[in-house]
Structure 1
Amino acid sequence: MTDLPQIRQHVTVAAGQAAPPADWWQCLVRSQMLAGSCTQGNSNCVASSNDLDGDGQLDVTAVQSQQRIRPRLRAADTQPRWVVPDRHGGSLSLDSEAKSEVSQALRNGQIQTRHNHWPELALPGDRRIHIRPSEEGLRPETRP
């Protein structure tokens, strides 16, 4: 589909969420990244608008049942634009059970963000390692 009114009718907005901003819809029509997902007549696409990165601007997450979850972030610079995060955060590939669970939670407006307490370690080549301490490592050591 390339007709914007038709696409707007086809994409479900998550329960309790505002419709994505007008410029996001335009980006969806023009996007090579999303072509074949939310713009196909047989897709089951849900869009949710939240401030994912804490910059005060709405970001849109679109989930298409047979594809990947693709967040679109509003870039905070002098020329507001929609971007897909880098390869480390640009999409999530899930098995069918997890995809169904995420899609249903998104549709019901139940997706929330949770900021990590621990930072990532950045290695050369922009490789990142997530720090996830074990419960054992967080307990204070007992001394005799």
Structure 2
Amino acid sequence: MNTTATTRIHTDHGTTKRLGDWTAANHFEVKARYGSVVIDLRSPLIEGDDEIVVHADLDHAMVKLLVPEDAVIVQSELEWTGRGRVKDFACPKDVSGRVIRLVGTSNRGEFRIHRGGIAVLSALFTREFIEDARQAHREGRTPTLLDPANAPR
């Protein structure tokens, strides 16, 4: 695992969104207290073939992960206090894509996994998408938030 590529996300009583082609890191440290965090992990810029690690410290918070359709979610290293769970309703039976490992602690928090088309819709219905679409129209390109693989390089 590339330890130099760590992204820290912190929110307290608010909402933080990281959408589109925003990082090349494969290790994330998320600290959220009474808030929500949306992290888009569909970018082809994310380094290496190794797993992606999301280290969470949640207190009454929600983390929404936008992942590819074939992503494998490993949640065995999460420690729960109070109610909480990982909601991954659309998980295909035979997935063999990139591994996303969830580690850390959650005090009455939850993870929501949005895959494929649901991930696109989650990104589509945001203010960030409208800004990206306007910018893309001016530049004559496809909006990045629909599919991070379309990002200009």
* TM-score of the two chains, using structure 2 as the length reference: 0.25
Give the strand-richer structure, 1 or 2.
Answer: 2
| Structure label with greater radius of gyration | 1
Q: Which has the higher contact order (CA 8 A, sep 6+)?
A: 2
* TM-score of the two chains, using structure 1 as the length reference: 0.26
Give the helix-richer structure, 1 or 2.
Answer: 1
